[in-house]
Amino acid sequence: MTTHRLGVSAALVDGRLVAGDVAIDGELVEAVGLPPASGGRIAAPGLVDIQVNGFAGVDLMAADVDELHALAQALPRHGVTAWLPTLITAAVTDTDRALDRLGKAFPPGSRPVAGEARTLGVHLEGPYLSPRRLGTHPPQHRRDPDLAELDTWRRRGDVVAVTLAPELPHALELVKALSDDGVLVSLGHSDATAYDAHLAFDAGARTVTHLFNAMSAMRHREPGLPGAALSRPDVVVQMVLDGHHLSPDVVRVVWAAAPDRVVLVTDATAAAGRPDGTYALAGVALDVTDGVVRNPDGTLAGSALTLSGAVRNAVEIGIDPAAVLTAVTERPAELLGRDDIGRLRPGARADITVFDDDLSLRETWLGGDPVELATP
């Protein structure tokens, strides 16, 4: 194998930007901290997106196997080298079919397919959600927690994460059972009080889905789910930084309150990586105008965001670049308990992103091979 140097000035290593170039040898990272190249470019681990409902014209709930592979091939063109497919609330038969197709396209434990982002399992966002905080989730398919039903889905697919509302009947039992079994429990689409939220975090929930969106409000006498999450050093908060879900001031406040506990996600729909137009999310019609994704009621319905776009958005509002890159690489990998992704170190698989000094995506490498980027 021939060693190749990336020509960068710094690299993200263990949450810090360390001066020096990076060398890869075949599929693996050979060295970091080599004499730096000029130009100010930054190497980071491949981006990790843990909330993807669709991408590049493909809706996960309706996608066939070929479309799923097309989606996995499109993600690296925008810097993402590992992703967590997310299925929203739907009819049982639709969820069953989607799990079957995901399992066929990406068998658990299989090697990453050349040219495709690595699939990390399945995230079920629902159906155990608050009827008051559904957002775009179809109300006719919402229901209260059912451990037997979820066990059936876990046998059917590689479910590694579940979003639920902790205030619902039997929710705490489900939180504890899933957490004890190693499944990541995230609180979201919830009308929980802070008390409800703390009970769920004590039972094993470890994160919050798209903070502030589709959840109880944070007030000075009743801080709700957002306040409870931000107050706890053991809870990771996920944010969608597309310029529409959260104001810049709120993003700055969150990062000040939880500097080492932020994960950026896209909540991407089929509209992500595509122009404005009409798309679908699990059978719900979506309108995308000026990059804003809305359902027929005018409610925000996921996003058209790319994770590399979220990186630029965060840096533009003043968040430290090392903190931003950590929130899309190391931190989501840690949240999922994965030590094989999200790290840039000798011996690791060479899934790498390279950014210009303004944090614009410059290159993606998958297993040591360069990927052609999408046209801006």
Report domain extents, the chain.
1-44+342-376, 47-341
What pLDDT, on a 0 to 100 scale, did the predictor assign at position 360?
A: 95
Helix/strand/coil (H/E/C) assignment for every residue in 150-184: HHHHHHHCCEEEEEECCCCCCHHHHHHHHHHCCCE
- For 3, 79, 91, the CA distances from 25, given in Å and listed in that order, are 5, 20, 47
pLDDT tens across 296-351, in order?
999 999 999 999 999 999 999 999 999 999 999 999 999 999 999 999 999 999 99
Cα gap 302→311, rounded to integer Å = 17
Name the nearest CA neighbour of 227 among 203, 192, 260, 261.
192
Confidence of residue 376 (pLDDT cuts 50, 70, 90): low
What pLDDT, on a 0 to 100 scale, did the predictor assign at position 2?
A: 75
Instruction: Indicate if 267 belongs to the active site.
Output: yes
Confidence of residue 230 (pLDDT cuts 50, 70, 90): very high
pLDDT tens across 86-111, in order?
999 999 999 999 999 999 999 998 88
| Token pair 């960068």 in the structure block, residue | 8
Mean pLDDT of 195-212: 98
For residue 295, give both structure tokens: 């359902």
Name the nearest CA neighbour of 160 among 13, 336, 37, 356.
336
Cα gap 331→242, rounded to integer Å = 19
What pLDDT, on a 0 to 100 scale, did the predictor assign at position 343?
A: 96
Helices and strands in the chain: count of H runs, count of E runs: 10, 23
Please report, rounded to a whole number, the percentage of residues in the chain having pLDDT higher than 90: 96
pLDDT tens across 355-370, in order?
999 999 999 999 999 9
Please check the confidence at residue 132 and state whether its pLDDT lies above 60: yes
pLDDT tens across 134-190, in order?
999 999 999 999 999 999 999 999 999 999 999 999 999 999 999 999 999 999 999
Please check the confidence at residue 1 and state whether its pLDDT lies above 60: no
What pLDDT, on a 0 to 100 scale, did the predictor assign at position 304?
A: 96
What pLDDT, on a 0 to 100 scale, did the predictor assign at position 191?
A: 98
Name the nearest CA neighbour of 45 among 332, 309, 317, 266.
332
Does the domain made of 47-341 have the CATH classification 3.30.2130.30? no
List the strands of the sheet with 361-366, edge to edge.
Answer: 16-19, 10-13, 42-45, 352-355, 361-366, 369-371
pLDDT tens across 22-77, in order?
999 999 999 999 999 999 999 999 999 999 999 999 999 999 999 999 999 999 99
Cα gap 240→33, rounded to integer Å = 32
Contact assessment for residue 304 and residue 4, using Cβ atoms and an 8 Å cutoff = no
Sign of the dihedral defined by the CA atoms of residues 202, 127, 68, 302, in that order:
negative
What pLDDT, on a 0 to 100 scale, did the predictor assign at position 375?
A: 77
State the architecture of 1-44+342-376 in CATH terms. Roll (2.30)
Contact assessment for residue 331 and residue 236, using Cβ atoms and an 8 Å cutoff = yes
- Regarding pTM above 0.85, the answer is yes
Name the nearest CA neighbour of 364 among 158, 75, 11, 79.
79
Pairing of strands 361-366, 352-355: antiparallel
At 166, the amino acid letter reads P
Pairing of strands 159-164, 122-125: parallel
Cα gap 197→200, rounded to integer Å = 5
Sign of the dihedral defined by the CA atoms of residues 243, 246, 251, 252, in that order:
positive
Residue of 267, 276, 287, 369 marked catalytic: 267
At 101, the amino acid letter reads R
